[in-house]
């Protein structure tokens, strides 16, 4: 039996300002306002033996204060527990807040705590997280998203794409879902011509099309040799996504907006995704992510985790078939370390755990914190 016990949990609410307002299709169709900041929830877990684990989750637009409040309520459940019993502790945390559900904000509040426990366990073993779990590869193909938003003129998107490829990134994703389908097709045409046929190109509609529009657009987009078409429909429309996956050659990717393994299971049952895009901070952490990855592999699906490359690089490296990790530079100011990218791939760090330490900026942007002992 391990003699180590959890003695402290520190939670920090962090508000990360973005350099410029970000707009995707949800802004152009009036559903949301431009995004100007990202709310993050950091968890630092300490033990009797002096070990420390770091985890984080996030919320875009509303939800950050709610995640922080829920995590503060359930964090005392960890005090005195063996930090190696991660699956047991995930279940304990989930049941502590079960009256508000097993997905959504309740799951997202658990994620930083769960991720911190995995970070701590890998540090105890002296291994990168991917190696602790069991890696299939030491690097993962990566594509860039942050340079292809709809608010950027197409000339800027082309410039950003060139810069990404020159930095070693292997693929480019751009946003679509503009109210004018002609604008979408013109932008995709320009980017494909700029990149050539050999560079991986993905598009992301951010759930903006109805079923009729999605069929029309997927038919048009089939000719561009895309790596995938992402979220052409509402994230919960498993039946609609499945129909598109059956009808068109271009793979359909979805799953980033779902907040539980159960919701992803419905996608898989329906055959709604050729490429599954789970997000560990959204579904409750690494523990449920690994359960979902096993299910996805049994159904022969590709895996391309959404956002949070600092976490998902490790997880994508453990998936049996080759997938993709999404390069987003938004979170880089929060950490002292940087991901290494070369020849279209992101390399798994050789540092123990996630291999991350928080920067001075994280402390500067902290709006609230609490320590539980």
Catalytic (active-site) positions: 175, 306
**Residue 24, annotated ligand binder?**
yes
CA 141 to chain centre: 15
For residues 180 and 61, give the distance between their C-alpha atoms in angstroms, rounded to a whole number: 25
**Residue 26, annotated ligand binder?**
yes
**Residue 326, annotated ligand binder?**
yes
Q: In the sheet where 6-22 sits, what is the strand order?
A: 52-60, 35-47, 6-22, 366-372
Each as own residue / partner, the long-range contacts of residues 59-65 (CB below 8 Å, 24 or more positions apart, any chain) are 59/108, 60/35, 61/32, 61/33, 61/35, 63/39, 63/105, 63/108, 64/13, 64/15, 64/39, 64/40, 65/13, 65/39
By the 10 Å C-beta count (0-12 exposed, 13-18 middle, 19+ buried), 166 is classed as exposed
For residues 149 and 32, give the distance between their C-alpha atoms in angstroms, rounded to a whole number: 14
**Residue 77, annotated ligand binder?**
no
Residue 328: CB atoms within 10 Å: 16
DSSP state of 340: E
3-state secondary structure of 362: helix
Dihedral in degrees, nearest 10, Cα atoms 163, 167, 170, 176: -30
Strand 52-60 and strand 35-47: the pairing is antiparallel
Locus of tokens 């950490």: 335
For residues 37 and 22, give the distance between their C-alpha atoms in angstroms, rounded to a whole number: 9
**Residue 230, annotated ligand binder?**
yes
Distances (CA, A) of 65 to 42, 227, 368, 373: 12, 36, 9, 21
Spatial CB neighbours of 193, under 8 Å, sequence gap ≥ 6: none
**Residue 60, annotated ligand binder?**
yes
Locus of tokens 């560990």: 280
**Residue 206, annotated ligand binder?**
yes
Residues making up the annotated binding site are 24-26, 60-61, 173, 204, 206, 230, 256, 326
Residues making up the annotated binding site for Mg(2+) are 204, 230, 256
Residues making up the annotated binding site for substrate are 24-26, 60-61, 173, 206, 326
């Amino acid at each position: 039996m391990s003699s180590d016990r959890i003695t402290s949990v520190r939670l920090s609410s962090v508000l990360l300002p973005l350099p410029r307002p970000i707009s995707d299709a949800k802004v152009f169709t009036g559903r949301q306002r431009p995004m100007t900041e990202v709310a993050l929830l950091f968890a630092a877990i300490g033990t009797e033996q002096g070990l420390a684990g770091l985890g984080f989750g996030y919320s875009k637009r509303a939800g950050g204060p709610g995640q922080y409040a829920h995590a503060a309520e359930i964090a005392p459940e960890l005090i005195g527990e063996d930090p190696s019993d991660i699956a047991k502790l995930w279940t304990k945390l989930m049941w502590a807040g079960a009256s508000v559900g097993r997905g959504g904000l309740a799951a997202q509040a658990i994620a930083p705590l769960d991720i911190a426990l995995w970070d701590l366990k890998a540090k105890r073993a002296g291994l990168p997280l991917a190696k602790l779990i069991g890696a299939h590869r030491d690097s993962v193909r990566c594509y860039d998203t942050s340079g292809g938003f709809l608010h950027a003129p197409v000339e800027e998107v082309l410039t950003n794409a060139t810069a990404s490829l020159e930095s070693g990134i292997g693929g480019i994703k751009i946003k679509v879902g503009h109210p004018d389908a002609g604008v979408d097709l013109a932008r995709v045409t320009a980017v494909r011509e700029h990149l050539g046929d050999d560079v991986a190109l993905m598009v992301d509609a951010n759930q903006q099309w109805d079923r009729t529009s999605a069929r029309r657009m997927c038919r048009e987009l089939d000719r561009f040799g895309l790596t995938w078409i992402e979220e052409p429909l509402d994230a919960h429309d498993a039946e609609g996504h499945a129909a598109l996956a059956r009808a068109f050659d271009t793979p359909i990717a979805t799953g980033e907006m779902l907040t539980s393994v159960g919701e992803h299971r419905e996608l898989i049952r329906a055959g709604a995704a050729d490429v599954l895009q789970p997000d560990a901070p959204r579904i409750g952490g690494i523990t449920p992510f690994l359960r979902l990855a096993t299910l996805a592999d049994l159904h022969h699906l590709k895996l391309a985790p959404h956002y949070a490359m600092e976490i998902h690089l490790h997880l994508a490296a453990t998936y049996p078939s080759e997938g993709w990790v999404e390069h987003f530079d938004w979170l880089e100011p929060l950490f002292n370390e940087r991901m290494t990218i070369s020849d279209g791939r992101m390399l798994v760090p050789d540092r123990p755990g996630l291999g991350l330490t928080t920067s001075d900026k994280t402390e500067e942007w902290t709006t609230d914190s609490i320590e539980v002992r």
